[in-house]
Amino acid sequence: MARSLFRPLAAALALCLVLAAAAQAAPMLPDFRELAKQSGNAVVNISTEKTVQAAENPFNELFRNMPPGTPFDKFFDQFEKFHGRQQRPQKQRSLGSGFIISTDGYIVTNNHVVAEADVIRVNLQGASGKSNSYVANVIGTDEETDLALLKINAGNSLPVLHFGDSDKLEVGEWLLAIGNPFGLDHSVTAGILSAKGRDIRSGPFDNFLQTDASINPGNSGGPLLNMDGQVIGINTAIIASGQGIGFAIPSNMAERVIAQLRAEGKVRRGWIGVTIQDVDEATARALGLGEPRGALVGSVMPGEPADKAGLKPGDIVLKVEGDDVSDSSQLLRRIAALKPGDTTKLTLWRNGQTKTVNLTLGERTAEHLTAQRGDAAPEKSGKEQASAGLGMSVRPVSAEDARNLKLEEARGLLVVSVEGGKPAAEADIRAGDIILLANLKPVNTTADLTKVIEQDGKKRGAVMLQLMRRGQTFFRTVPLE
């Protein structure tokens, strides 16, 4: 009798324990209802319209080239009468998202949502669920970060969202995305922060937040919110072939850009006038740095701020204003975030020692980013020589080479051929490249290069070559066995 009573009691106790555990676990799961309710009204749907030329009728070329007096004249006359020869403008429409950042109607979205649009309409969702439409004006756009600021006149009591601190985000935090995917108004999706600092090669300042919250076409420009209802990202990009992989512009970058667009209608960025690249392990060894860090200066543009401050090719920028620089992308973003005309302090690695320089920033412009010169293919000559086991043949640059390659003077070594599978090929050195420096020493003869490799390179296990290719200078490091 006692045993028969014990079994139901044990089962009841086990059930109570399971329910208690479930009750304790339940609060750990996020509830997005209040967050979606409080934030949703500040999210807007954006529709744009622009006029584009329709593709020309495929028969038009045939019309133009058809000789007169053929049996088909009457047919083509009738075809032209009904279909026409001329291109006719058509209306192209697109959809996106955005969010309100001020009670008087300033709205953040992506540049690609509104680029080249003739008409931009913003649809607000009222408290009753009814949508109100307003024509928006573009205050400013920034193509390099894909951000835009709009303004509507809809009174002075609009709901708003505020930016949070994206630097404080940690991978695994819960996030909420609100937007207009495929035209489906105010869709809410949730996920976590999957990664930070993603470079998807969409622009020079890529530093995206990655999330598995569902993002689709039409979500562009909408907010990515943390659990406090703060905007920590602007949903911008997806990988079309992937699922659960979306990218958002970090709020700390966006907030700075939007503030400039609101104040000046454009973004002004700092500029120092160098080409830069990452420091790999072989380069760090070649320069005695110890570990890969910082940004390697590939070339210094004459007359630009870096030149005036005394920076040299081969310098490694380790810090800006005392803050560590991990790679070239971080240096680019750090300098661009500073104002033209400001003075900044750079910590450099040069000749095995740290050095500090003060530099007055210039302003980054489109002209700075355009390559200025082309190149010509080198002609082979009987004078080339192999270069100390690197797997390439080189010869001194002649006066004729300098003219063909549009060089200011004949200096350096011309790479005539590169052997596949050898160290030079593995380091992406190509025929037609010009070697200007080896471990920061000028090389104008094959003997110069051999001397650097034998005396300096083999001791450090690598040789760093400054190359010129298509008018641009940069470094490649060749490991030595």
User: Has 398 been annotated as catalytic?
Assistant: no
Structure tokens at 464: 């760093």
Q: Which of 115, 111, 116, 100 lies closest to 45 in space, CA to CA? A: 100
- Per DSSP, 163 falls in state B
Does the annotation count 220 as an active-site position? yes
Is residue 278 flagged as an active site residue? no
Cα dihedral sign, 375-377-383-386: positive
User: Which of 146, 206, 315, 401 is an active site residue?
Assistant: 146
Bin 451: left if φ > 0, else alpha if -120 < ψ < 50, else beta. alpha
The b-or-e profile of 432-468 (16+ CB within 10 A means b, else e) is bbbbbbbbbeebeebebbbbbbeebbeebebbbbbbb
Considering only CA atoms, which of 160, 141, 161, 162 is closest in space to residue 150? 141
User: Which residue in the list 39, 97, 112, 315 is annotated as catalytic?
Assistant: 112
Torsion sign over Cα 437, 442, 444, 449: negative
Q: Which of 39, 47, 220, 328 is catalytic?
A: 220
Name residues whose C-beta falls within 8 Å of residue 353's C-beta, 6 or more positions apart in sequence.
Answer: none
100 in the Ramachandran plot: left (φ > 0), alpha (ψ -120 to 50) or beta? beta
Residue 18's φ and ψ, nearest 5 degrees, are -65, -45
- CA angle (113 as vertex; 169, 368 as ends), nearest 5: 80
| Residues known to be catalytic | 112, 146, 220
